[in-house]
A and B are shown apart, each in its own frame.
Chain A
Amino acid sequence: MSDIDVAYVAKLARLALTPAEIETFGAQLGALLEHVNALAELPTGDVPATAQVIAQRNVVRADDVVPSLDREVVLAAAPDRMGPYFRVPRILGEEA
Chain B
Amino acid sequence: MTIDLGAIEIARRVNAGEVSALELAREAHGRIAERDGAIGAFLAETEQLARRHAERVDGAVRAGQHLPLAGVPLAVKDNMCLEGTPTTCGSKILAGWIAPYTATAVERLLAAGAIPVGKTNLDEFAMGSSCENSALGRTANPWDLSRVPGGSSGGSVAAVAAGEAAIALGSDTGGSIREPAAFCNVVGFKPTYGRVSRYGLIAFASSLDQIGPIATSVEDAALVYDLMAGKDPLDATSVELPAEPTVTALREDLAGVRVGIVREFGLDKLEPDVRDVYQAAYADLERLGAELVEVSLPSADYGVATYYLIAPAECSSNLARFDGMRYGLRVEAPDVTGTYEATRAAGFGDEVKRRILIGTYALSSGYYDAYYVRAQKARTLIAADFARAFSACDVIACPAAATPAFEFNAKADPVSMYLMDYYTIPMSLAGLPSLSVPCGFVTPAGSDRPLPLGLELSASLFAERSLLGIAHAYERGTRHAASRRIPAIARAGAAS
- Which residues of A have CB within 8 Å of B354? 25, 28-29, 32
- Which residues of A have CB within 8 Å of B325? 79, 86, 88
Chain A count of residues within 8 A CB distance of the other chain: 53
With A52-B431, A69-B100, A88-B325 as known contacts, state yes or no: A15 contacts B335, CB within 8 Å: no
Q: Which residue of B lies closest to A75 (CB)?
A: B326
Contact between B415 and A31, CB atoms less than 8 A apart: yes
Contact between A49 and B237, CB atoms less than 8 A apart: no
- Which residues of B have CB within 8 Å of A36? 305-306, 308-309, 371, 375
Contact between B100 and A9, CB atoms less than 8 A apart: no
Contact between A14 and B337, CB atoms less than 8 A apart: yes
Please provide the chain B residues from 292 to 347 with a CB less than 8 Å away from any CB of chain A in the complex.
299, 302, 304-306, 308-309, 316, 320, 323-330, 332-342, 344-345
- Which residues of B have CB within 8 Å of A28? 354, 414
A10 at the interface (CB under 8 A from B): yes
Report how far A4 CA is from B359 CA in the complex, Å: 12
A51 at the interface (CB under 8 A from B): yes
Report how far A13 CA is from B337 CA in the complex, Å: 11
Q: Provide the A19-47 mask, 1 if CB < 8 A to any CB of B, else 0.
A: 00100010011011101111111111001
Report how far A17 CA is from B341 CA in the complex, Å: 9
Chain B count of residues within 8 A CB distance of the other chain: 71
- Which residues of B have CB within 8 Å of A70? 100
Q: Which of B305, B348, B380 has the most CB of A within 10 A?
A: B305
**Chain A binding surface, main DSSP class:** loop
B377 at the interface (CB under 8 A from A): yes
Q: How far is the CB of B41 from chain A (nearest CB, A)?
A: 26
User: Which of B305, B326, B336, B418 meets A90, CB within 8 Å?
Assistant: B336
User: Assuming A35-B305, A48-B380, A53-B461, what are 15 further A-B pairs, CB within 8 angstroms?
Assistant: A13-B360, A14-B340, A16-B338, A29-B361, A32-B414, A43-B381, A44-B377, A47-B380, A50-B377, A50-B379, A50-B383, A51-B376, A77-B97, A79-B325, A91-B336
A65 at the interface (CB under 8 A from B): no
Contact between A15 and B326, CB atoms less than 8 A apart: no
Q: Which residue of B lies closest to A52 (CB)?
A: B207
Report how far A10 CA is from B289 CA in the complex, Å: 55
Please provide the chain B residues from 365 to 401 with a CB less than 8 Å away from any CB of chain A in the complex.
371, 373-381, 383
Report how far A28 CA is from B353 CA in the complex, Å: 12
Contact between B357 and A42, CB atoms less than 8 A apart: no
Report how far A62 CA is from B353 CA in the complex, Å: 39
- Which residues of B have CB within 8 Å of A13? 316, 344, 356-357, 360
Report how far A35 CA is from B303 CA in the complex, Å: 11
- Which residues of A have CB within 8 Å of B360? 9, 12-13
User: Which of B233, B333, B364, B414 meets A89, CB within 8 Å?
Assistant: B333
Q: How far is the CB of A70 from chain B (nearest CB, A)?
A: 8
Q: Which 8 A-B pairs have CB atoms at the shortest separation, nearest pair first?
A: A53-B431, A79-B330, A49-B376, A44-B377, A16-B341, A52-B207, A16-B345, A59-B236
Report how far A15 CA is from B429 CA in the complex, Å: 28
Q: Which of B100, B194, B329, B334 has the most CB of A within 10 A?
A: B100
Please provide the chain A residues from 53 to 96 with a CB less than 8 Å away from any CB of chain B in the complex.
53-54, 56, 59, 61, 69-70, 73-74, 76-80, 86, 88-91, 94
Q: How far is the CB of A38 from chain B (nearest CB, A)?
A: 5
Q: How far is the CB of B443 from chain A (nearest CB, A)?
A: 32
Contact between B374 and A54, CB atoms less than 8 A apart: no
Q: How far is the CB of B107 from chain A (nearest CB, A)?
A: 15
User: Which of A4, A42, A61, A74 meets B381, CB within 8 Å?
Assistant: A42
- Which residues of B have CB within 8 Å of A12? 360, 364
User: Which of B328, B353, B374 meets A44, CB within 8 Å?
Assistant: B374
